[in-house]
Amino acid sequence: MMPKLLAMTCCLALSLPAVAQQPAPPSIPEPHHLSPTLQLPVDVIVFDLRREALEPKRWGFEIHADGHGRYYAQGAPTVEAPSGTVWQDVTVSKATMERLLAGAQHDDRCETRAKHIANTGQKTLSFVHGDAWFTCSFNFSDNEAVTKTEETFQALAETIQFGVRLQHERRFDRLSLDPEMESLEGELKGGRALEIANIAPILKSLAQDERVIDRVRRRAARMLESAGLTQNPSQSQEALPR
């Protein structure tokens, strides 16, 4: 098993985009799957997306079988991330993990054979799952299993990117918090954002911040409560001023 796992690890390192094998900035811890010499554990899902026309220009995940992992994003420098690179630990539920693993059942090509498909970003999906090995890159896939995995990663990233914007707006543009929270609420209801626990710290801060308008505080408290993350009655919707 060990020689086979080492061989798969080498293949994974070679299959990732070349820039991913460059050393991370000194202030940023290097994630497991970006190290070409590290032996990967079994049951790892790696997703990487590049879209030069949008921010962040590149983002991705490394998720382990126990539901723990990390998100990364590379884009324009900000006050919060002067290097332009963001790392965040993430946790996903068992149900979300099952959706992520859907694409592992696919052993054919990912890219559609259809012509004239709009460029939605170059995506690389990789699995080391038990004795099975799978990796592919695509712009658009018409395979339902791969699409299900991609959409789940997109929804996870959507939540985290909302969290990044909320942190920035709380510091520098509190008037933008209201439409941002309204948008997040809509994405959650539509299933286009998942695992709200990954941005619980900023939501808790907003729920308790008297400098932001009541509607923002109520929405933050409601999201926390619906996810079972309310810590005490003072954070509940009923306890907040209306």
Summarize pLDDT for 122-134 with one digit per residue, the tens.
999 988 766 667 7
- Do the domain assignments include residue 202? no
- Do the domain assignments include residue 97? yes
Q: Is the pLDDT of residue 11 over 70?
A: no
Predicted local confidence at residue 132, as pLDDT: 65
202: number of Cβ within 10 Å: 18
Strands 122-129 and 132-138: antiparallel
Predicted local confidence at residue 107, as pLDDT: 56
CB 242 within 8 Å of CB 217: no
Q: Is the pLDDT of residue 4 over 70?
A: no
Predicted local confidence at residue 79, as pLDDT: 78
Q: Is the pLDDT of residue 55 over 80?
A: yes
pTM of this structure = 0.77
- Domain region containing 136: 2-141
Predicted local confidence at residue 129, as pLDDT: 63
Q: Is the pLDDT of residue 53 over 50?
A: yes
Predicted local confidence at residue 77, as pLDDT: 85
Predicted local confidence at residue 189, as pLDDT: 96
- Do the domain assignments include residue 194? no
138 pairs with which residues across the strands? 123
- Do the domain assignments include residue 159? no
Residue 27 binned pLDDT confidence (cut-offs 50, 70, 90) = very low
- Do the domain assignments include residue 167? no
Residue 29 binned pLDDT confidence (cut-offs 50, 70, 90) = very low
CB 177 within 8 Å of CB 203: no
How many domains does the chain divide into? 1
| Interacting residues of 159 by C-beta distance below 8 A, sequence separation 6+ | 184, 187, 188, 193, 194, 195, 196, 198, 199
- Do the domain assignments include residue 196? no
- Do the domain assignments include residue 83? yes
- Do the domain assignments include residue 211? no
